[in-house]
């Protein structure tokens, strides 16, 4: 299972939120590039970058941070947040993203998102299936749709999606464990490469996700709060 640390960017800084609430932001480092370098020095190969300003603004904002991380490291980056147009996608790839994650766009403009899968291929486009009470949330998690998360994933699997990042918003940033039953259901009812996100609090959580069959696991606050050390992640990698 791939271990994928997360860097969430707000106003150019590395922050974490609780349950996606912008009012709960906690700044961990003024320089996200410095954090990315620390991850790489610990043997990490992958990085999940979220443009929180972009998610709220509905267009890519922190592309310069993405570009600086790309220039300063050899990490394989998946980038999401605010990707709402062909122009946004082009900027993300030109600034160094290896993959991009689309969530709100997959809900609000299915035709455009499907065209991205067809144009760039399923290795480049990740479906963001972020949910609250099983319902897909959009626009920086500030809005909730009526779409069931498993049905949502099934629909895009039929359109060629292979990679899915699924976050249970109620778990995100809470350090209370992951949504294992939901992930089990997704893996039973689909054949996607599932990347779990939200709630990782310990190495045990990662072992459980691996046993369930997740292809990857995103780790954020557990690293920043010292629940999981980079040394421990280095041993897993």
The string of pLDDT tens digits covering residues 146-173 is: 999 999 999 999 999 999 999 999 888 8
Question: Domain count of the chain?
Answer: 1
Q: What's the CA gap between 131 and 29, in Å, rounded?
A: 28
The yes-or-no answer on residue 130 being catalytic is yes
Q: What is the CATH number of the domain that holds 221?
A: 3.20.20.70
| Side-chain half-sphere CA neighbours of 94 within 13 A | 9
The yes-or-no answer on residue 8 being catalytic is yes
Catalytic hit among 8, 78, 172, 205 = 8
211 Cβ partners below 8 Å, 6+ apart?
A: none
Q: What's the CA gap between 237 and 41, in Å, rounded?
A: 12
Which residues on adjacent β-strands are paired with residue 197? 167, 218
Torsion angle (degrees, nearest 10) of CA 5, 10, 15, 18: -100
Give me the pLDDT at residue 221, please. 94
185-204 burial, b for 16+ CB within 10 Å, e for fewer?
A: ebbeebebbbbbbbbbbebe
Q: Which domain covers residue 168, as residue numbers?
A: 2-236
Whether 54 has a pLDDT exceeding 80, the answer reads yes
Give me the pLDDT at residue 173, please. 81
Catalytic hit among 51, 130, 168, 205 = 130
> For residue 196, what are its two tokens?
């779990």
Please state whether beta strands 193-197 and 216-219 pair in parallel, antiparallel, or not at all (unpaired).
parallel
Neighbour count for residue 208 (Cβ, 10 Å): 18
Q: What is the pLDDT of residues 174-223, one digit of tens each?
A: 888 999 999 999 999 999 999 999 999 999 999 999 999 999 999 999 99
């Amino acid at each position: 299972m791939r271990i994928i640390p997360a860097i969430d960017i707000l106003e150019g800084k590395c922050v974490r939120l609780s349950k996606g609430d912008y009012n709960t932001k906690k700044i961990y480092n003024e320089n996200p590039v410095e954090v990315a370098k620390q991850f790489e020095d610990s043997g990490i190969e992958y990085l999940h970058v979220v443009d929180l300003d972009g998610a709220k603004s509905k267009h890519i904002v922190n592309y310069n941070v993405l570009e600086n991380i790309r220039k300063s490291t050899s990490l394989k980056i998946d980038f999401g947040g605010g990707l709402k147009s062909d122009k946004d996608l082009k900027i993300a790839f030109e600034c160094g993203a290896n993959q991009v994650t689309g969530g709100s766009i997959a809900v609000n403009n299915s035709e455009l998102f499907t065209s991205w899968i067809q144009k760039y291929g399923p290795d480049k486009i990740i479906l963001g299936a972020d949910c609250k009470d099983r319902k897909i949330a959009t626009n920086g998690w500030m809005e909730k749709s009526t779409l069931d998360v498993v049905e949502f994933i099934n629909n895009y699997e039929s359109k060629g999606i292979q990679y899915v990042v699924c976050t249970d918003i109620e778990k995100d940033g809470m350090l209370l464990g992951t949504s294992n039953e939901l992930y089990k259901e997704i893996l039973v009812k689909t054949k996607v490469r599932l990347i779990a996100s939200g709630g990782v609090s310990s190495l045990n959580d990662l072992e459980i996700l691996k046993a369930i069959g997740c292809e990857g696991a995103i780790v954020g606050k557990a690293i920043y709060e010292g629940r999981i050390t980079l040394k421990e992640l280095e041993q897993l990698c």
